Amino acid sequence: MTQLALVIDLNVCVGCHACVTSCKEWNTSGAAGYLSDDRPYDADPTGCFFNRVQTFEVGAFPDTQTVHFPKSCLHCEEPPCVPVCPTGASYKRAEDGIVLVDYDKCIGCKYCSWACPYGVRELDEHQKVMKKCTLCVDRIYDEKLPERERKPACVLACPTNARLYGDIHDPDSQVSQAIRENAGYQLMPEWGTHPANHYLPRRKTVIRIHADELQRADNPLKIDGKLPKPALKEPSLDDVTSW
Amino acid sequence: MNPAFSVIFLTTLIGAGQGLFLALYTGQVYALFDLLPAQDSRSFYAVGSAIALAFLAAGLVASFFHLGHPERAWRSAAMWRTSWLSREVIVLPAFMGTVFLYGAGHWLGWQSPLFSLPGGYPVDATLLLGAAGTLLCFGLFICTAMIYACLKFLREWHTPLTVINYILLGGASGFVLATAFSAAAAPAASGFFGGWAAVLTLGALTSRGASLVRNTRLKPRSTLATAIGVRHPRIVQKSQGFMGGSFNTREFFHGRSKAFLGGVKWGFLVLAFPVPLLVLAAGLAAGSPAILGGAFLVQYLGLMAERWFFFAQANHPQNLYYQAIS
Ligand code: SF4
Ligand code: SF4
């Protein structure tokens, strides 16, 4: 079974919102119709987005870290949003695990958004149907696109390569390896939703230096200065020539 | 959550209608066993059923205002295997149809006994319809309440008390309505309905009080640490990613002060329980349908406040992600 997903590397994300804008651009131009965008240049702008980049501060000054945190539908493997939908408009595809909304069936009751703990479903205020990330289902299988572009728009847009895309059920995929080797984790594991999207944690690059690496092993008495120069025929202290 | 008036009207109106139907049928069963004087089937049961039906229909109409696409509402019967909302969508019309038949049966006098219970009590078609209606009525209470109680991360709702509250609050409201109605249509029975109305109101106060106490003790299971997966006790949001509002900031935040919430809480605790009880007692003593109708109205206002508070109090974990504009 395939489960397509994103893996987002918080260690590399710089919070540039390129994924947000490219997502909006791609998904407002598709066959499903536009994404609402009201009063974009006025005092109270609002609109429907599939992807948001948020910013958190961890720790107290001066020991703080800024964490940029992109968030979109996690395509949960046990999606709580799907069984509650009364019309069957929300569904999870068996073939690739993408959770989708059928805009022609949705009655706009908002119940699925109540049932998603992550706040990633947004009702389109004009079309009055529930919308959310489709993992660019209208891109990734499009044979008219060159192979390397058959990826979600956000993944292609990310300038730091913080967004990886692939099948997390394939142990050899890039995403599975990234999760495995970099301690990838899921959001709010306490609700048993098993999100398919994973996040890679912030990682500090540290050099480990052991005490004996700071000392010259061949100078245990810490006597500095030039070593006595042995005569040419004598063995040297450390079995190499001293000159 | 941000309480939606369509849902507040839906749940309180159908609750009153359901309770009224239960009251009528209880009266009929008591009368069958000669515990109550029999009532006129047209002016009491048929008209009473019509009133119950009117409440249910009003609730149904209110529910359509909650939908983005009411014209597609028929689709929502599809997923009854998994969705409590879908089940409610099926049970509500089924119940309304049964109440209609029950009232019609009384109006048309379907009273020839079909068979007799041991002891010689005759069972007619209306009694069977009423039994079916009672089952559907409880089914509807359970569906309505489970829509909320089944969402496990809305922990204020995820408790059997939610189901009990819906049954008792709806029952109380319907029995108070039945008391007012019977004072006009069947004065001999109004004491009976008034007694049960008081019992149900006190029962509802107990269970609603219990859920209030339970909810004040809840500790949130999701925190910012689990929401973004950074293991640190001190995390603050600096930006939610956009400057204006969004669906997520409008649907899940009530935007009122703590004091306002407290006011609504005490408001409903007073308006839905002690005040209607006092007015009920006064109305019964005076035998006045108008005063008893007042008791129903006061309690209905209280129940609307109760429902508003029920929604507002639920703290959705998604709110963790929407704390700061920038
Ligand atoms: S993240 Fe929310 S909307 Fe997406 S699959 Fe999970 S529960 Fe459903
Ligand atoms: S808003 Fe649409 S997708 Fe969501 S539960 Fe209702 S019908 Fe289903």
Q: Give the best residue of B71, B92, B158, B239 to mutate against chain A (max A CB count within 10 A).
A: B239
Answer whether B228's CB lies under 8 Å from A67's CB: yes
Closest to A48 in 3D by CA, of A69, A68, A74, A20:
A20
Lowest-confidence range among A19-23, A209-213, B197-201, B270-274?
A: A209-213
Looking at all shown ligands, the one closest to residue B75's CA atom is 2
pLDDT on residue A241 = 54
The whole-number average pLDDT for the span B291-310 is: 98
**Domain CATH code at residue A156:** 3.30.70.20
Return phi, psi of residue A85, to 5°. Answer: -65, 120
Tell me the pLDDT band of A216, cut-offs 50, 70 and 90: low
Interface check A20 vs B, CB under 8 A: yes
pLDDT band at A157 (very low <50, low <70, confident <90, very high): very high
Kindly state the percentage of chain B with pLDDT values over 70: 100
Q: A234 falls in which pLDDT band (50, 70, 90)?
A: confident
In a domain, A141, yes or no: yes
Question: Who wins on pLDDT, A232 or B76?
Answer: B76
Q: What does DSSP say about strands A198-200 and A4-9: parallel, antiparallel, or unpaired?
A: parallel
pLDDT value, residue B8: 97
**Beta carbons within 8 Å of B273's beta carbon, 6+ residues apart:** B201, B202, B204, B205, B302
CB environment B61-73: b (16+ within 10 A), e (fewer):
ebbeebbbbbebb
Taking residues A129-146, report their average pLDDT: 96
Let me know if residue A90 belongs to a domain: yes
Question: What pTM value is reported for the model?
Answer: 0.91
Judging contacts by C-beta atoms under 8 Å, the chain A residues touching residue B150 are: 84
The DSSP bridge partners found for residue A54 are: A69
Q: Whose CA is nearest to atom 7 of ligand 1?
A: A116
Q: Mutation target for B interface from A54, A64, A74, A76: give the one with most B CBs within 10 A.
A: A54
Rounded to an integer, what is the distance from CA B218 to the centroid of its chain? Answer: 24
- Domain tally for chain A? 1
Domain that holds residue A23: 11-162
For residues B15 and B23, what is the distance between their CA atoms, to the nearest angstrom?
12
Q: Where are the domains of chain B?
A: 5-218+230-320
Which tokens go with B216?
Answer: 């004040």
Q: B223-236 burial, b if ≥16 CB within 10 A, otherwise e?
A: ebebbbbbeeeebe
Q: Return the closest-CA partner of residue A53 out of A92, A81, A82, A24.
A: A24
Q: What is the DSSP track for B224-292? A: HHHHHT---S-EEEEE-S-SS--HHHHHS-----HHHHHHHHHHHHHHTTHHHHHHHHHHHHHT-HHHH
In this structure, the strands spanning B235-239 and A198-200 are unpaired
| Residue B236 with chain A: CB contacts under 8 Å | 56-57
Q: Token digits for B84?
A: 């409590």
Please spell the DSSP secondary structure of A102-151, one letter per residue.
Answer: -TTT-----HHHHH-TT---EE-TTT-SEE---TTTTTTT-TTS-GGG-S
CATH architecture of B5-218+230-320: Up-down Bundle (1.20)
Structure tokens given for B315: 């703290």
d(C-alpha B212, C-alpha B208), whole Å: 6
pLDDT of residue A237: 62
Residue B308: partners with Cβ closer than 8 Å, 6 or more residues away: B3, B8, B264
pLDDT at A63: 93
Question: Helix and strand tally (H, E) in chain B?
Answer: 11, 3
Q: Pick B117 or A173 by higher pLDDT.
A: A173
**pLDDT, tens digit, for every residue of B74-126?**
999 999 999 999 999 999 999 999 999 999 999 998 888 899 988 889 999 99
Q: Is A112 in the pocket of ligand 2 (CB under 6 A)?
A: yes
Q: Which residues of A touch B321 (CB under 8 A)?
A: 54, 71, 118-119
Q: What are the tens digits of pLDDT across the range B104-116?
A: 999 998 888 899 9
**pLDDT of residue A111 exceeding 70:** yes
For residues B131 and B154, what is the distance between their CA atoms, to the nearest angstrom? Answer: 34
> Residue A55 gets which letter from DSSP?
E
How sure is the predictor about A207, in pLDDT bands with cuts at 50, 70 and 90? confident
Whether A83 and B83 lie within 8 Å, measured CB to CB = yes
